[in-house]
Amino acid sequence: MSEVNLNGKSALVTGGSRGIGRAIVDALAVNGCSVVFTFVSSDQAAKEIEEEYASNGMKVYGYKADGSKQEEAESSVKFAADTTGSVDILVNNAGITKDNLLMRMNNQDFESVLSANLNSVFYYTKAASKYMMQKRWGRIINITSVVGLMGNAGQSNYAASKAGVIGFTKSIAKELASRNITANCIAPGFIETDMTAKLKPEQKDALLSLIPLRKFGQSNDIARIASFLCSDAAGYITGQTIAVDGGMTM
């Protein structure tokens, strides 16, 4: 039996071809949701993901889009609605980093991170919420970061974008609550990825010393919270930021 029943629901997950996004796509699809995911890199990889789910009787579709461009974000939402019948759930997960110290950071690196990580959330949410308002039901989940809560040296652009996502989410949660639409953030801490796998032992130890649970998180740790927030069980939770970080920000 599935932990969460999302049968008959449809979702759009941005940046869903790998990492945390892929884990969220998987969690939603396994629980009965039809899912459209956006990607920016390999068409072939996206096709293979589609075929993998189709072979297991799941409805998962890829759509190539750069969410920092308004027209591409809007076309993603339209594709999702046309393909699955609506957009009940939106997970804004896509994002980029261009780290540097303040004095070395150029304008383009600051603006491109804000555009990809914050503007895209505005574009996708505005377009998708129209479908949710019509149905008087919706779930919006924005993936922020513990960096948006704490700040981090060398990531002023990334921290600003992720803090902006939190403020945006609180505001739309208040605006959309009367239509039975919830909006929440998930703030991942250090999640085990290809990047953390390349760290030297001393670098890993330094990071782990910041985490009370003394271990990195897994993509599925984020996906399980996302699927819960999509469910009816989380219908009275809105405007919140849930840190999934092993205790790092407490």
Structure tokens at 57: 């009787």
- The angle at the Cα of 226, spanning 136 to 145, to the nearest 5 degrees, equals 115
User: Which has the closest alpha carbon to 62: 85, 74, 79, 87?
Assistant: 79
DSSP classification of residue 80: H
Q: Which of 53, 63, 158, 236 is catalytic?
A: 158
Instruction: Produce one character per residue of 145-155: b if its CB has 16 or more CB atoms within 10 Å, e if not.
Output: bbbbbeeeeeb
State the amino acid at position 91 in one-letter form: V
Active site residue 158: yes
C-alpha to C-alpha distance for 235 and 89, rounded to whole angstroms = 13
Structure tokens at 66: 């750069």
C-alpha to C-alpha distance for 250 and 234, rounded to whole angstroms = 23
Residues taking part in catalysis: 158
